[in-house]
Structure 1
Amino acid sequence: MKAIFTIEKVSSLTEIPNYWSKEDYFALLKAFDVPVADTLSNDECIEYLQMAVSELEPNQAAQILLTYKLSAFLNENQIEQISNDMLIDKISEEYPEIGLHLDLFSINQLLFKLYNGKFPNTKAILIEVLVEIEDYSEVLTKEEIIKYIMEMTSERNVIKRLFSEKLEHNTPFEEANDIIWKLEHSNDHYKIYTSEYWIADEEIEKSKIETEFISIDVLGE
């Protein structure tokens, strides 16, 4: 099947939309021992969180956020270590378990906001793509999307360097589900959210490719 992939827009982001819910903010305020009414807006929640963390060292606040989001995946020693490392390193790019990168990014960016820049400012990227595939109406998977996006990036890209063998269209690439943090689809338009560590704007060398599309479903038959 013939396919055309066109990158329509690339945007740099400091947070992933809707990662933090109103329920998250209230749970965090409770964790910080701040009693509030459940009628607060998101902005008001942030203001109360800023007041709450002003009484704590940055690494202490980091421990509370990490415990709230990741206690099912990290033990106390790991949380303590990461809470200290976050102040000097971009942990959401460096942590070996890439399945935690989205959570670590979002925790880092909330702390960056609450402490007015005491934590490193990490960036995400939103790539908006038009996908036109002849006689094909299925929604593309993260794995399918990333393999074709990689055909549009330079050889400097870290995904190409770390996963070169898995980018072959007949090879499973399970890590794609963690590399692409969020994938939205509407008609033939896709929104791809990931870290600038994985795909940087300057690494995108082609805004359009025409290629032969190979479906993962076809490979599995």
Structure 2
Amino acid sequence: MKYTTKISQITSLDELPGAWTREDYLELLKRFDFPDGDTLKNEDPKEYLYMAIADREPAEAAAILLDYRLSEFLNEGQISQIAYDMQLDKISEEYPEISLHHQLANINQLLYKAFNGKFPHVKTSVIAFETTPETNLDTLLTKELALKALAGGLSDRSLMKRLFEDHLAGQAVFEEAEAIVWELKPLGNARYQLTTSEYWLSDADFDQLEFESDVVESPLPAETE
């Protein structure tokens, strides 16, 4: 099916709004042994958390945040290793489990702010676009279909296009789309807002802002016996 797409804005963010709630900040203040965190009723706990984080060694601070957000997916040894590696490399872009990239990026961005740039600078892309299919106007735009619709404007230099060319063309199952796209928000009148890592999609990846794409849904995953 052919989709007609127009990108209206691509924004690069140092920090994703809503990634951390006030409740997160207060709980983390406890984990960083910050005294009287519960008394901050009328104050912004984020600034106090920055101070509490900066009082720790970088790897120790990273491990506390990793344990808070990802202990369900990572064991103690993995957390310790990632906490060290995060100071040197963009782990939120390089970690083999793409499903963890979103939370790793949120943790990295918090550490980057608290330590004034001691951690690598990772950014988030927010893409505002409008897309309509040639037929079946009621088709639900999934994360997979959104990436395929946007693929028509990607340059050949794009990492997304180079790594997932067959997936974008509908020739391979594109399960990774669910993890690559952190959020796909419908805005009405065929308009959407897509959030992902700048690693996957950025302003530099597009050589067109208005384009058409031939969107083919992926084949069904093979059944395992």
TM-score, normalised relative to structure 1:
0.90
2:157 maps to a residue whose letter is R
The superposition leaves residues 55-78 of structure 1 with CA deviations (integer Å, 9 ceiling, x where unpaired) of 311111000000000001111111
Identity %: 43
3-state DSSP class of the match of 1:128? strand
3-state DSSP class of the match of 1:65? helix
Unaligned stretches of 5+ residues in structure 1: none
- The change in CA–CA distance for 1:164 and 1:3 in structure 2 (over 3 A counts) is closer
- The change in CA–CA distance for 1:162 and 1:3 in structure 2 (over 3 A counts) is closer
1:199 match: 201
The superposition leaves residues 152-196 of structure 1 with CA deviations (integer Å, 9 ceiling, x where unpaired) of 101111122222221123643110011111111121111011111
- The change in CA–CA distance for 1:213 and 1:54 in structure 2 (over 3 A counts) is closer
Please say if residues 154 and 205 of structure 1, whose CA atoms lie closer than 8 Å, have aligned partners that are also in contact. Answer: yes
1:166 match: 167
1:87 match: 87
2:11 match: 11
| Alignment of structure 1 residues 72-111 onto 2, 5 Å | 72-111=72-111
Please say if residues 139 and 185 of structure 1, whose CA atoms lie closer than 8 Å, have aligned partners that are also in contact. Answer: no
97-106 or 16-25: bigger deviation: 16-25
1:157 maps to a residue whose letter is S
| Alignment of structure 1 residues 55-204 onto 2, 5 Å | 55-133=55-133, 134-169=135-170, 171-187=172-188, 188-204=190-206
- The change in CA–CA distance for 1:142 and 1:38 in structure 2 (over 3 A counts) is farther
TM-score, normalised relative to structure 2:
0.88
- The change in CA–CA distance for 1:211 and 1:158 in structure 2 (over 3 A counts) is closer
1:55 maps to a residue whose letter is D
In 1: Cα distance, 2:109 partner to 2:201 partner:
18
3-state DSSP class of the match of 2:38? coil
Establish whether residue 44 from structure 1 lines up as the match of residue 44 from structure 2: yes
Count of aligned residue pairs for this structure pair? 217
1:165 maps to a residue whose letter is D
Unaligned stretches of 5+ residues in structure 2: 221-225
How much has 1:143 moved relative to structure 2? 0.2
2:32 match: 32
Q: What is the RMSD of the two structures over their aligned residues, measured on CA atoms? A: 2.0
How much has 1:2 moved relative to structure 2? 5.2
